[in-house]
Structure 1
Amino acid sequence: MPIQMWHTPDCPQYVIMQINWESGSRRVKEQDAWAKEVFPAAHERLQQATAALPPGTAAQPFVDALTELVQAQADTTGFVVLHKWVEILERHFPPELPDPEHTSE
């Protein structure tokens, strides 16, 4: 059962909630600003690290998927949406295809 609570402007509990909301909002803005500043350099380091890896290793699909996901994030101003994640993961980790030599009874 939903409960609705009313506070007067001078209610201590309301003042504490307001301070917490403002503090949380400030932290989110600070984190976002920090991430926008640091992301390009971190993305560049990822690209350099992936370029240094020898091709054809067992980790190659993981490296390629991570690189593409990070590039997708760099290309957007918000979040990479779920369908984009799925497209990238399906491309690098396709579902098992049926074995043409296998016959079912």
Structure 2
Amino acid sequence: MWHTPDCPQWAVMQIGWEAGSRCIKEQDAWAKDVFPAACERLKQAAAAVPSGTPAQPFVDALTELVQAQADTTGFVVLHRWVEILGRHFLPQLPDPNHTTE
């Protein structure tokens, strides 16, 4: 679809794009400002969880994932998720003492 420079529909679309861009920039600035404090609260809550509980692997994985996010300027990429989750949730390996005949 083509629009002339004086097309009202084109002007409305540009206004929408600019407003959306401004909103995203504001959200990003807000998140960068509050993220460190939220990370600290998570670490404090994780430290309060008694070790050895069934929730421990979940707490450790979440804490490490949040730290990985804090260490990057973008998103934690999928292979980092797999590495982190693999450390806390080991795959079920076959039992070498169990044989079937």
Same fold flag (TM > 0.5): yes
Residue 12 of structure 1 and its aligned partner are, at CA, apart by 1.1
Describe the superposition over 1:38-68 as per-residue Cα deviations: whole angstroms up to 9, x where unpaired: 0000000000111111101000000000000
Is 1:69 the counterpart of 2:65? The answer is yes
Q: Which amino acid aligns with 1:49?
A: A
Instruction: Give the TM-score, by structure 1 length.
Output: 0.92
Structure 2 residue ranges without an equivalent (≥5): none
Q: How big is the alpha-carbon RMSD for the aligned residues of Structure 1 and Structure 2?
A: 0.9
Letter paired with 1:73: Q
Identity of aligned residues (%): 80
Return the match for 2:99 from 93, 100, 103: 103
**Does residue 5 of structure 2 align to residue 40 of structure 1?**
no
SS of equivalent residue, structure 1 residue 78: coil
